[in-house]
Amino acid sequence: DAGITQSPRHKVTETGTPVTLRCHQTENHRYMYWYRQDPGHGLRLIHYSYGVKDTDKGEVSDGYSVSRSKTEDFLLTLESATSSQTSVYFCAIKVVAEGNEQFFGPGTRLTVL
Amino acid sequence: DAKTTQPTSMDCAEGRAANLPCNHSTISGNEYVYWYRQIHSQGPQYIIHGLKNNETNEMASLIITEDRKSSTLILPHATLRDTAVYYCIVRGINQGGKLIFGQGTELSVKP
């Protein structure tokens, strides 16, 4: 599992509330990613980070912000949650090697009522 | 990144080889072929990757055609635990190396 944990694993919240999801890694990888997965859409990239304080947008970044103040933690924030953000969220790290393969965390199931 | 085409679903008998095809006819010279799978409710799991040579590891084999326009993932002796959605992804080195997941192939291994 490449030492990746996500918290919380499940969360139910109400529309308009702020929500922060945490991804934690123990192996000092530089690259980290946040994806969401919805039926019929597969996995879609939200934001990614290529180092401390270095982040960039993915294909579905609207309504999300991220922060990376230290190597091991990558936070995803929904400033004001909406029902369309109900999804399963996966964090991933990239192993910088010949193949640059990515390894995923166990996921966070978020429900916005 | 190149687009991939995979069958929506496949069945395989337990103990038999599962051969999952992927078409990536627009692949460019510096793009790798990756395979991931996702077992229900879990995060995607890396399986194998290759550039142009065939590759084998403890999980699977990857056969890439000489023109690199298609590939096949082979699970040599499928088990019930191999039931999952299998994603073929082609990726170059750009935009932080993000993975673009398509719909994948839903493999059902049956006893």
Question: Tens digit of pLDDT for each residue in A22-80?
Answer: 999 998 999 999 999 998 778 899 999 999 999 999 989 999 999 999 999 999 999 99
Question: Tens digit of pLDDT for each residue in B35-91?
Answer: 999 998 889 999 999 999 899 999 999 999 999 999 999 999 999 999 999 999 988
Q: How far apart are CA A79 and CA B35, in angstroms?
A: 34
- Give the list of residues 6+ apart from residue B106 with CB closer than 8 angstroms, or none: B8, B9, B10, B84, B85, B86
Q: How far apart are CA B56 and CA B46, in angstroms?
A: 13
Question: Tens digit of pLDDT for each residue in A74-106?
Answer: 999 999 999 999 999 999 998 877 677 889 999
Instruction: Give residue for tokens 């056969």.
Output: B63
Of the residues B6, B51, B62, B99, the best mutation for testing chain A's interface (the one with the most A CB atoms within 10 Å of its CB) is B99
> How many Cβ atoms sit within 10 Å of the Cβ of residue A15?
12
Determine the distance in angstroms separating the CA of B44 from the nearest CA of chain A, rounded to an integer.
6
Handedness of CA B75, B81, B85, B91 (dihedral sign): negative
B96 phi, psi to nearest 5 deg: 70, 15
Determine the distance in angstroms separating the CA of A80 from the nearest CA of chain B, rounded to an integer.
26
Determine the distance in angstroms separating the CA of A59 from the nearest CA of chain B, rounded to an integer.
10
Instruction: Give residue for tokens 């970044």.
Output: A61
Residue B96 reports pLDDT greater than 60: no
CA-atom Rg of chain B in angstroms:
13
B6-30 burial, b at 16+ Cβ within 10 Å, e below that, comes to beeebebeeeeebebebbbeebeee
Average pLDDT estimate for B12-40 = 93
Determine the distance in angstroms separating the CA of A46 from the nearest CA of chain B, rounded to an integer.
10
Of the residues A31, A94, A100, A108, the best mutation for testing chain B's interface (the one with the most B CB atoms within 10 Å of its CB) is A100
CB pairs under 8 A between A and B: 52
Instruction: Give residue for tokens 């945490």.
Output: A22
In this predicted structure, what is the pLDDT of residue A38?
92
Residue A8 reports pLDDT greater than 90: yes
CA atoms within 13 A on the CB side of B106: 6
Interface residues of chain B, partner chain A, Cβ below 8 Å: 32, 34, 41-46, 49, 87, 93, 95-104
Q: Are A53 and A69 in contact (CB under 8 A)?
A: yes
Here the tokens at position B5 are 């085409």
Handedness of CA A35, B50, B76, A1 (dihedral sign): negative
Q: Are B8 and B106 in contact (CB under 8 A)?
A: yes
Residue B95 reports pLDDT greater than 60: no
Question: In terms of Cα–Cα distance, which of B53, B67, B55, B56 is closest to B23?
Answer: B67
User: Which has more confidence, B62 or B101?
Assistant: B62
CB contact under 8 A, B43 and A105: yes
